Amino acid sequence: MTQSDGERFRQMLGKKIKTLRTARGITQVELARALGFTSTGAISQVENGLRGLMFESIINAAIVLDVHPVFLMDPDDIESDNCELISAMLRLFEKRRQEPELADRVIEELRAVLLKDDSFTGGDDKNDAMT
């Protein structure tokens, strides 16, 4: 039996929420309260892919977990160690819309760091690697 798209989405959402919650040191009780649940059972069901969340709850979970909501809503599986990087990039893109000058400075600083590290560029011409 194959999984439906909804089942796969619930499992990916639950995995991301659990990974981020534990990485942030947030308990199920704290997350449950923030999302308006009266018990941790609902959070456990979400984290295990047995229950989904309404759109508003996904937005609230993203706020509590300090990630961009798009990250939680993306149905693709993402390795745990990439969660922080992807979320930070999404927040940077959002910040760029709100404060373009500040975000552009951060992007330039990040680009400079990446260009100094051959492991990011493969050791090739560093100017071509980021363009």
Q: 47 in a domain, yes or no? A: yes
Q: 116 in a domain, yes or no? A: no
Q: Check if the beta carbon of residue 84 is closer than 8 Å to that of residue 71.
A: no
**What would the mean pLDDT of 40-46 be, rounded to a whole number?**
94
Mean pLDDT, all residues of the chain: 80
Q: Check if the beta carbon of residue 47 is closer than 8 Å to that of residue 17.
A: yes
Q: 92 in a domain, yes or no? A: no
Q: Provide the number of structural domains found in the chain.
A: 1
pLDDT at residue 125 in the model: 47
What are the tens digits of pLDDT across the range 68-125?
888 888 877 666 556 667 667 766 777 777 777 877 777 787 777 777 766 555 555 4
Domain boundaries, position 54: 5-75
Q: 17 in a domain, yes or no? A: yes
Q: What angle do CA 24, 82, 125 make, to 5 degrees?
A: 140
pLDDT at residue 24 in the model: 83
Q: Supply the CATH number for residue 63's domain.
A: 1.10.260.40
